[in-house]
DNA sequence: TCTCCGATTAGAC
DNA sequence: CTAACGGTCTAATCGGAGA
């Protein structure tokens, strides 16, 4: 039986989450900003219509915002994660085979269901009724076609939020795909679409009927899979189980530039703590640590310095204290006082499950105290992140990111929600 | 010439 | 007055080192 996938994608997700708790914003242009209040990463339809681009630096929009009363909010990831869980939990009832693809998207396997359109409208209705989040549904025999169908559902009001690619005849498919820019295809980004244009491939239909061997030779396997998926052949499977992370990064741009090592080390110990929490949460340990610093790459007038040191850890670990000692040492090694730092971070790599580690024959593994970290995680989970910290964390202020317009955590922290 | 591995590139959201 | 531009992740590919 031919596979049928629905891609359910939330509309303007972060903005929609904010609007659930701020009905007064429903008719106002709204944007949600990235960390550090840097760029617009979610825009209401009104904000899009006014010309705010995805990822646009917010300072570039200030005049426009002033003129049209655009409301800008700092991102509130605790809120979005919780709203996402609610949406995903509803969608999971529609099929045991589903893949949470991102914070606002889910593939749902509807293979064998007769009334695809009805079921899709039902999903839409239920999600908006139970969570307040509007979604669009695209249906197709492959992930790539379901994605494309979703794009059409979003673009054409006539579809009323649901588009089933299977409902088209071959002729209709050809006509529709000839009208869509190839850059809309999942997996075709900026660079690739520019190079494809040089080869005369401008529309989705151009890509679908392109000479496969040439495509493969010029652009690689990835795009060949994409082409086959556009033709209806499944090349990208549904990933039901969430795989363990292969690398874990924790990094931030600073609210202001930092010139003091002590402040850098303070920030770094927070990054280490966050990365190790994630590592322990998936029951892994890491054998590789990378630590990096960045100056402000947008300041062409200032000297640039982007040091990065990678060290193999002598023994895989997920102990924040152990990793912190390394990170602290490495920051000291890299630091040069003549630069102004704007960003820093850590990366944990060479990750494997705890307990599947082949102990060194020559150097017997030293027992690390897993109880300490376990207790620390439990306390921080129960009483909030940062309740128990490494001593260097928080000793220095001055690196924290700007977040001037953050909404309350409506769904997870009632204590801070103002009562109407 | 082959293989391994780290770095780079490109993509997604 | 000026400066104000995110964060995490994966897979494929590239290119140099060593076998």
Closest nucleotide relative to residue A105's CA, C1' based: B13
At A381 the pLDDT is: 84
Closest by Cα among A152, A138, A88, A149 to A110: A138
Q: What is the mean pLDDT of residues A317-321?
A: 94
pLDDT for the residue A22: 96
| The predicted structure's pLDDT at residue A58 | 96
The pLDDT of residue A357: 52
CA–C1' gap, A368 and B12, in angstroms = 38
C11 C1' to A211 CA distance, Å = 24
Predicted confidence band of residue A371 (pLDDT cuts 50, 70, 90): confident
Q: Over 90: is that where the pLDDT of A390 sits?
A: no
Q: What is the pLDDT of residue A365?
A: 56
Confidence of residue A398 (pLDDT cuts 50, 70, 90): confident
Identify the pLDDT of residue A112: 96
Sort residue A92 into left (φ over 0), alpha (ψ -120 to 50) or beta: alpha
pLDDT greater than 70 at residue A362:
no
Question: What is the pLDDT, as a whole number, of residue A38?
Answer: 94
pLDDT of amino acid A389: 79
Band the pLDDT of A393: cuts 50, 70, 90. low
Q: Which residue has the tokens 């060194």?
A: A360
Nucleotide lying nearest to A188, CA to C1' measure:
B11
Kindly tell me the burial class for residue A349, based on how many C-beta atoms sit within 10 Å of its own C-beta (0-12, 13-18, 19 or more): middle
Q: What share of chain A is helix, strand, coil (3-state, %, to 5)?
A: 45, 20, 35
Q: Which nucleotides of B are covered by protein (CB under 7 A)?
A: 6-7, 9-13
Q: How much is the average pLDDT of A155-170?
A: 96
Tell me, what's the pLDDT at A262?
94
Does residue A201 register a pLDDT over 70? yes
In percent, the amount of chain A with pLDDT more than 70 equals 95
> Can you give the pLDDT at residue A356?
57
DSSP letters, A280-294, are HHTTEEEEEEEEEEE
Which tops the pLDDT comparison, A220 or A162?
A: A162
**Separation in Å: B12 C1' and A397 CA:** 34
Dihedral of the CA atoms A122, A127, A128, A129 (nearest 10)?
80
A288 CA from C17 C1′ (Å): 21
Tell me the CA–C1' distance in angstroms for A400 and C1: 24
Q: What is the pLDDT of residue A387?
A: 80
Residue A372: the pLDDT is 85
Q: Closest nt to A220 (CA→C1')? A: C12
Largest CA distance in chain A: 70
* Residues in contact with strand C, defined as Cβ under 7 Å from any of its atoms: A 34-36, 38-39, 41, 55, 57-59, 62, 220-222, 243, 245-253, 257, 274, 278, 296, 298-299, 343, 345, 401
> Above 80 in pLDDT, residue A361?
no
- pLDDT for A62-92, tens place per residue? 999 999 999 999 999 999 999 999 999 999 9
Q: Is the CB of A328 under 7 A from strand B?
A: no
Closest listed residue to residue A75, CA positions, set A28, A21, A37:
A37
Residue A276's pLDDT band (cuts 50, 70, 90): very high
- Please give the pLDDT value at position A420: 59
Is the model's pLDDT at A270 over the cut of 80?
yes
**A358 vs A413, which has greater pLDDT?**
A413
Work out the pLDDT band at A297, boundaries 50, 70, 90: very high
Report the percent of chain A where pLDDT is more than 90: 81
Q: Name the closest nucleotide to A41, judged by C1' and CA.
A: C6
Q: For residue A222, is pLDDT > 80?
A: yes
CA distance A80 to A17: 6
pLDDT, residue A366, reads 59
Q: In the predicted model, what is the mean pLDDT of residues A9-14?
A: 98
Calculate the angstrom distance between C1' of C1 and CA of A330.
Answer: 38
Give distance CA A76 / C1' C7 (Å).
14
Looking at every residue in chain A, the average pLDDT score rounds to 92
The C-alpha atoms of residue A229 and residue A342 are separated, in whole angstroms, by 42
> Around A9, how many Cα atoms within 13 Å sit in the side-chain half-sphere?
20
- Name the residue among A405, A301, A320, A312 with its Cα closest to residue A368: A320
Type and span of the H or E element at A334: helix A320-334
Distance A251 CA to C6 C1' (A): 10
Examine the pLDDT at A143 and tell me if it is beyond 90.
Answer: yes
Tell which strand C nucleotides have any atom below 7 Å from a protein Cβ: 3-13
Measure the CA–CA gap between A106 and A109, rounded to whole angstroms.
10
């Amino acid at each position: 039986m031919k596979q049928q996938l629905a891609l359910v994608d939330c509309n303007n997700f972060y903005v929609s989450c904010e609007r659930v708790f701020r009905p007064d914003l429903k008719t106002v242009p709204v944007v949600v900003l990235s960390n550090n209040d840097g760029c617009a990463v979610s825009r209401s339809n009104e904000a899009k219509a006014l010309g705010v681009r995805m990822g646009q630096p917010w300072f570039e929009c200030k005049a426009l915002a002033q003129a049209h009363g655009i409301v800008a909010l700092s991102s509130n990831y605790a809120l979005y994660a919780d709203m996402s869980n609610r949406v995903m939990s509803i969608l999971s009832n529609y099929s045991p085979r589903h893949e949470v693809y991102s914070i606002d998207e889910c593939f749902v396997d509807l293979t064998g269901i007769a009334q695809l359109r009805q079921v899709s409208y039902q999903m839409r209705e239920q999600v908006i009724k139970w969570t307040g989040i509007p979604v669009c549904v695209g249906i197709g025999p492959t992930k790539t076609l379901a994605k494309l169908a979703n794009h059409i559902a979003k673009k054409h009001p006539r579809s009323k939020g649901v588009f089933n690619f299977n409902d088209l005849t071959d002729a209709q498919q050809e006509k529709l795909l000839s009208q869509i820019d190839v850059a809309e295809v999942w997996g075709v980004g900026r660079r690739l679409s520019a190079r494809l244009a040089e080869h005369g491939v401008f529309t989705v239909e151009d890509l679908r009927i392109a000479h496969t061997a040439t495509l493969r030779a010029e652009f690689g396997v990835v795009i060949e899979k994409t082409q086959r998926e556009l033709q209806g052949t499944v090349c990208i499977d549904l990933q039901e189980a969430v795989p363990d992370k292969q690398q874990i990064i924790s990094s931030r741009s600073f609210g202001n530039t930092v010139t003091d090592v002590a402040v850098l080390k303070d920030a770094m110990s927070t990054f280490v703590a966050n990365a190790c929490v994630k590592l322990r949460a998936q029951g892994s340990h890491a054998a590789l640590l990378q630590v990096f610093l960045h100056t402000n790459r947008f300041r062409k007038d200032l000297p640039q310095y982007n040091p990065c040191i990678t060290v193999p850890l002598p023994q895989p670990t997920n102990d924040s204290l152990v990793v912190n000692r390394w990170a602290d040492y490495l920051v000291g090694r890299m630091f040069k006082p003549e630069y102004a730092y704007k960003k820093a971070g850590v990366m944990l790599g060479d990750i494997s499950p705890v307990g599947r580690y082949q102990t060194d024959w020559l150097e017997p593994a030293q027992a690390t105290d897993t109880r300490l970290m376990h207790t620390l995680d439990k306390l921080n989970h129960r009483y909030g992140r940062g309740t128990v910290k490494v001593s260097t964390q928080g000793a220095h202020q001055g690196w924290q990111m700007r977040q001037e317009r953050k909404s309350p955590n409506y769904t997870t922290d009632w204590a801070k929600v103002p009562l109407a």
